[in-house]
Chains A and B, each alone.
Chain A
Amino acid sequence: MKKFLHFIIAALMVAPMVATAHGPSRQQVKETITINASPEKVWAMVKDFGAIDKWHPAVASVEMKDEKTRVLTLGSEGSPTITEELQKVDDEKMMLIYKITGMSVVKTITFNSKDTPYFTLPVATYKSWMTVKAVDGGSEVQWKSKFYRSFMDNPPVPEGQSDKDAVETIKAVITSGLENLKVVLEK
């Protein structure tokens, strides 16, 4: 019963990703890191969609809903979640593409007399590319994401919801992930 209640609460928390205007400009973050390990070894870890918790420091646990859908929990039970769907795995190019399909609502504020949800990440229509290639000294991993900020209406934008906030948050997610991927693989 308690589990069922949890499920209901979780379901209510995952807001539908409505396709509306999220500011006029799509944003992009692109970071790379060189890892002293073979491309095969790096790619094996990167492509393991259900095991991002093995290397991303912000991800506490991963649950695979089906073979293409993972739910990331960013802490203990009840912490913010991100649901992601694998779109493409290309072993030849050593590239995978995934997108965010849902996020939990961390809080809701009233802004301009409208309910404004704050999601796990302040982004919408988020899509990510991870690519591994061979370079001198091992492998280079590129992690690129494209997204809109999550706040849909015209400015002013509530605190923490601007294009700049979205870019800085994603930059932190990507940079910390790449740095720890390097640590884990170079062990």
Chain B
Amino acid sequence: MLLLLIDSPKKAILKKIAFFLVLGLLTACNAKQHPPYAYITNQLSDDMSVIDTSTQQVIHTIPMGNRPVGIALSNNNRAFITNSEGQDLTILDTSTMRVISHIPTPSGPVGIATNNNGSKVYIADWYQHKISVVDPKQAKIISTIFVGNSPAGLIVDDNRQRLYVANRDDNNVMIIDTATQNVLHTINVGSAPFGLALSPDGNTLYSVNVRSSNVSVIDTNSAKVTRTINVGEWPYCAVVSPDGKHLYVTNQDDSTISIIDTVNPSIISTVDVGDSPEGIDITPDGQYVYVTNWGDGTISVINTDNYNVENIIKTGKGSRAFGQFISQ
């Protein structure tokens, strides 16, 4: 608006200054304060390794609670971590790398997800079969959603106001309306669904079924399983590439990653990683897949151009990172 008012050619230089001033302000507001970081919960050393994905190096090691497992990131510089034995939630300010608060939770906090702006955090309770909804500002649980037995993986789809829940011991996935907190659909999948992955367009949800060693492909619009894809032994988690064309699945008991073509569903490659791969995520540019090797306390970094493991990064012990752990 200011620019339109400045019209005179005499004020061209002023216009230029104003232009760059406004541009500068806009850039400052939208600036990524840092390249994408990977936030790795180390379950057995009770801390978190923060990795700068541009240098592939650990730049911070931050103490967590007792047995940190789940991780969720919001775009207001917050990381949310479930401490499974500590029975609490740690909130980290990722601009200062300082822990802001610990919020007590019910007895079995594992899976976790947040909406984009970080105003609501959903925590799955393994023992009490419910989701606690946390308001980080008030630093407390504001409501509870009852789900199936031993809920594990969670994903929030902000656009559709939905929460997806994998109920491990009921062999199903629930779709929950985040506005009303009602269960909209319950979909039977394979045996013991644990990790979930959502395509970027929100149309396809993948449930990783630990005991049946396969992935159920769910059409989120019809709420139906459209396909089942066999993967490796004891699969755990998965992530979809930013273009939606590939799905990467960790196979804990084979110490491999299955790479699946989602367009013509089939396994196109199997990559050896470290011992007991669990958490998996991809950099926003789709270039690198990060896999946490729980048994080794390392990360395998896979280049998606050639599926080579390009780097192995040492973390704390029991690197798990269950959730979406790479920032945008």
Chain A positions near chain B (C-beta within 8 angstroms)? 19-21, 24-25, 28, 30, 127, 144, 146, 153-155
Q: Is the interface of B mostly helix, strand, loop or mixed?
A: loop
Q: List 8 A-B contacts (CB under 8 A).
A: A19-B191, A21-B127, A127-B234, A127-B253, A146-B276, A153-B127, A154-B126, A154-B127
Chain B: minimal CB distance from A174 (Å): 15
Q: Are B107 and A28 in contact (CB under 8 A)?
A: no
List residues of chain A with CB within 8 A of the CB of B69: 24-25
List residues of chain B with CB within 8 A of the CB of A25: 43, 67, 69, 84
Q: Looking at the complex, which one of A24, A28, A127 makes contact with B126 (CB distance below 8 Å)?
A: A24
Chain B: minimal CB distance from A140 (Å): 16
Q: How large is the interface on B (under 10, 10 to 19, 20 to 34, 35 or more residues)?
A: 20 to 34
List residues of chain A with CB within 8 A of the CB of B234: 127
List residues of chain B with CB within 8 A of the CB of A155: 107
Chain A: minimal CB distance from B295 (Å): 6
Chain A: minimal CB distance from B130 (Å): 12
**What mask results when residues 152 to 171 of chain B are scored 1 for a CB within 8 Å of chain A, else 0?**
00000000000000001100
Q: Are B43 and A19 in contact (CB under 8 A)?
A: no
- Residue of chain A at shortest CB distance from B294: A28
Interface residues of B in 69-119 (CB under 8 A from A): 69, 84, 107-108, 110
- Residue of chain B at shortest CB distance from A153: B127
List residues of chain B with CB within 8 A of the CB of A153: 127
B128 interface residue per 8 A CB criterion: yes
In this complex, which of A20, A127, A154 has the most chain B Cβ atoms within 10 angstroms of its Cβ? A154
Q: Are A154 and B107 in contact (CB under 8 A)?
A: yes
- Residue of chain A at shortest CB distance from B107: A154
Q: Are A30 and B295 in contact (CB under 8 A)?
A: yes
Q: Give the docked Cα–Cα distance between A24 and B169 (Å).
A: 12
Chain A: minimal CB distance from B248 (Å): 21
Q: Give the docked Cα–Cα distance between A21 and B168 (Å).
A: 8
Chain B: minimal CB distance from A84 (Å): 16
Q: Looking at the complex, which one of A19, A28, A127, A144 makes contact with B169 (CB distance below 8 Å)?
A: A19
List residues of chain B with CB within 8 A of the CB of A24: 69, 84, 108, 110, 126-127
Q: Are B169 and A20 in contact (CB under 8 A)?
A: yes
Q: Give the docked Cα–Cα distance between A24 and B192 (Å).
A: 13
Chain A: minimal CB distance from B322 (Å): 10
- Residue of chain B at shortest CB distance from A127: B253
Q: Give the docked Cα–Cα distance between A146 and B233 (Å).
A: 13
Q: Give the docked Cα–Cα distance between A24 and B84 (Å).
A: 7
B211 interface residue per 8 A CB criterion: yes
Q: Give the docked Cα–Cα distance between A21 and B150 (Å).
A: 7
Q: Give the docked Cα–Cα distance between A155 and B127 (Å).
A: 9
Interface residues of B in 39-62 (CB under 8 A from A): 43
List residues of chain B with CB within 8 A of the CB of A144: 295
Q: Looking at the complex, which one of B108, B126, B128, B192 makes contact with A19 (CB distance below 8 Å)?
A: B192
**Contacts beyond the supplied A25-B43, A146-B253: 18 A-B pairs with Cβ under 8 Å:** A19-B169, A19-B211, A20-B149, A20-B150, A21-B127, A21-B149, A21-B169, A24-B84, A24-B110, A24-B126, A24-B127, A25-B67, A28-B294, A28-B295, A30-B275, A154-B107, A154-B108, A154-B127
List residues of chain A with CB within 8 A of the CB of B192: 19
Q: Are A154 and B128 in contact (CB under 8 A)?
A: yes
Chain A: minimal CB distance from B294 (Å): 8
- Residue of chain A at shortest CB distance from B320: A25
- Residue of chain B at shortest CB distance from A88: B233
List residues of chain A with CB within 8 A of the CB of B67: 25
Chain A: minimal CB distance from B166 (Å): 13
Interface residues of B in 267-301 (CB under 8 A from A): 275-276, 294-295
Interface residues of B in 204-260 (CB under 8 A from A): 211, 234, 252-253
Q: Give the docked Cα–Cα distance between A181 and B128 (Å).
A: 44
Q: Give the docked Cα–Cα distance between A24 and B211 (Å).
A: 15
List residues of chain B with CB within 8 A of the CB of A30: 275, 295
Q: Give the docked Cα–Cα distance between A144 and B84 (Å).
A: 24
Q: Give the docked Cα–Cα distance between A24 and B67 (Å).
A: 10
Q: Give the docked Cα–Cα distance between A55 and B192 (Å).
A: 36
Chain A: minimal CB distance from B41 (Å): 12
- Residue of chain B at shortest CB distance from A20: B169
Interface residues of B in 153-198 (CB under 8 A from A): 168-169, 191-192
Q: Give the docked Cα–Cα distance between A146 and B251 (Å).
A: 14
Chain B: minimal CB distance from A50 (Å): 24
Q: Give the docked Cα–Cα distance between A92 and B276 (Å).
A: 21
